Amino acid sequence: MALALPVLAHPGPASPSDAVPGQSSLFTTYPGKKTPLAPQYLKPIPATEKGPAGQDDLLFQNLLAAEWAIYSFYQLGVETFSSSDFAKKGYPNTTYQRITEMRDNEAGHVRIFQEQISKNSVKPGPCQYNFAKSVGKSPEAYLAFQVFLEVSSMAYLTGLIDQADLNISKSALMAIGQVESRHNAWALIDAWNTSPFSGPSDTVYPYANQILDSTNTFIVTGSCPSENPPYPYPNQHLPQLAFKKKGTTGKPGSTIEFVWKDKKPTFDKKEYFAVFYHGVHHISVPYNPKENRVEIPAEFDSGSSIIIVIIADTKDAPTEQSVVAGPLIILEQPGALTKQVNAV
């Protein structure tokens, strides 16, 4: 049975409804199973003034819509599991507590992003989200997917910085990214007993909206509030990529064969490239649509962070419009769960 999480199902806890992130423990150490968000923040918030949108309103509308999915994933974990569920599987006794604390942080991110949107623009509300395929009721699968979500959010946060007009917006994105990085470091150390270091740089991908679009996979069709603006905007609606897991390690130097998740692009040009991003670098590899196989560049270090790959009609994908499919995120770290998560 699918696990669809309606985040509006629970009233807020008995706490001040005007709690401010950074000034209230509600967004740090609140231990309850019910959402820490007060009811007025669990729905679209309409514009209260007329006038031009704020300079970075569109950026934060996109980011808030994405954050609802991340927050809902953690709320799902808090509601579904208990401390004993993780302890019985051999995870540290503090695992459930940490998930709860991360849920609190993500609720704080919701409030921060809401406040970043001006009074002239609508603040998107939550949809319903279905993580059943990736999570089910398995503590192991939940913790595996948690790593995937955190490193993915780092990839789009770094890309969104390029879209920001205001320096204060760039600073806010950096501050949020620091917290997401700590969430991932905790998981690598405590849950997966591995090094938290992902190499000298996390992976940078320049076209953040393409990664945001991939999160639509988890939205229950028709569940988003009618007041919400399109998400993300603008949206290229690119074909989504996966790859066949059998016969490959999915590591640098190995060959992968692409799989189309929904629709296949129309290949009508002479040249195409698979462009791989890792750290702050990218490498283009010639791609033949008929063969549909490419080798992950052996130059990349193995077992660090993520590799992002897209298919483009121009070498190095210099513009968003040159991307014809993707992005595909290949989890490299930790090795103990790469096969499980890359199968998502």
The residue ranking higher by pLDDT, 144 or 105, is: 105
Residue 289 placed within a domain: yes
* Total of domains in the chain: 2
The residue ranking higher by pLDDT, 319 or 6, is: 319
Q: Which of 145, 21, 1, 162 is nearest to 74 (CA)?
A: 145
Question: Which residues neighbour 171 within 8 Å (Cβ) at sequence distance 6 or greater?
Answer: none
The mean per-residue pLDDT over the stretch 30-57 comes to 96
Question: Which residues neighbour 249 within 8 Å (Cβ) at sequence distance 6 or greater?
Answer: none
Residue 236 placed within a domain: no
Judged against a pLDDT cut of 80, whether residue 338 lies above it is answered with no
Q: Detail the DSSP E strand segments found in the chain.
A: 4-6, 128-130, 241-243, 255-260, 273-278, 281-286, 293-295, 306-312, 323-331
Q: What is the CA radius of gyration of the chain?
A: 20
User: Do 170 and 255 have their domain in common?
Assistant: no
Reported as a single tens digit per residue, the pLDDT across 44-56 is 999 999 999 999 9
The mean per-residue pLDDT over the stretch 5-17 comes to 44
Domain with 114 in it: 4-218
Judged against a pLDDT cut of 50, whether residue 140 lies above it is answered with yes
User: Do 261 and 292 have their domain in common?
Assistant: yes
Interatomic CA distance for residues 251 and 235, integer angstroms: 30
The mean per-residue pLDDT over the stretch 221-231 comes to 97
Question: Which residues neighbour 320 within 8 Å (Cβ) at sequence distance 6 or greater?
Answer: 207, 209, 210, 236
Residue 228 placed within a domain: no
Interatomic CA distance for residues 198 and 155, integer angstroms: 13
Judged against a pLDDT cut of 90, whether residue 61 lies above it is answered with yes
User: Do 46 and 182 have their domain in common?
Assistant: yes
User: Do 17 and 137 have their domain in common?
Assistant: yes
- pLDDT-based confidence at 13, cuts 50/70/90? very low
User: Do 53 and 156 have their domain in common?
Assistant: yes
Phi, psi torsion values for 88, nearest 5 degrees: -65, -25
The residue ranking higher by pLDDT, 252 or 159, is: 252
Least confident of 18-32, 297-311, 325-339: 325-339
- pLDDT-based confidence at 344, cuts 50/70/90? very low
What is the structure's pLDDT at 151? 85
Residue 231 placed within a domain: no
Which residue is it, tokens 């999570």?
Answer: 135
User: Do 95 and 145 have their domain in common?
Assistant: yes
CA angle at 210 for the pair 63 and 312, rounded to the nearest 5°: 160
The mean per-residue pLDDT over the stretch 270-286 comes to 96
What is the structure's pLDDT at 12? 40
User: Do 192 and 257 have their domain in common?
Assistant: no
The mean per-residue pLDDT over the stretch 227-251 comes to 94
Judge contact between 270 and 287, C-beta under 8 A.
no
User: Do 212 and 293 have their domain in common?
Assistant: no
Residue 226 placed within a domain: no
Phi, psi torsion values for 159, nearest 5 degrees: -70, -35
Which residue is it, tokens 């070498």?
Answer: 315
pTM tops 0.85 = yes
What is the structure's pLDDT at 123? 98
Interatomic CA distance for residues 301 and 74, integer angstroms: 31
Mean pLDDT of the chain: 90
Residue 77 placed within a domain: yes
Residue 330 placed within a domain: yes
Phi, psi torsion values for 85, nearest 5 degrees: -60, -40
Q: Which two tokens stand for residue 188?
A: 């690598």
User: Do 172 and 276 have their domain in common?
Assistant: no
Count Cα atoms within 13 angstroms, Cβ side, for 51: 8
User: Do 180 and 322 have their domain in common?
Assistant: no
User: Do 109 and 182 have their domain in common?
Assistant: yes
Interatomic CA distance for residues 236 and 327, integer angstroms: 12
Interatomic CA distance for residues 143 and 132, integer angstroms: 13
Judged against a pLDDT cut of 50, whether residue 171 lies above it is answered with yes
Q: Which two tokens stand for residue 60?
A: 């934060």
The verdict on whether omega for the bond into residue 318 sits within 30 degrees of 0, i.e. cis, is no
User: Do 199 and 153 have their domain in common?
Assistant: yes
The mean per-residue pLDDT over the stretch 132-139 comes to 79
Percentage with pLDDT > 90 across the chain: 73
What is the structure's pLDDT at 246? 87
The domain spanning residue 245 has which CATH number? 2.60.40
Which amino acid type is present at position 49? E
Residue 283 placed within a domain: yes
What is the structure's pLDDT at 156? 87
Judge contact between 242 and 328, C-beta under 8 A.
yes
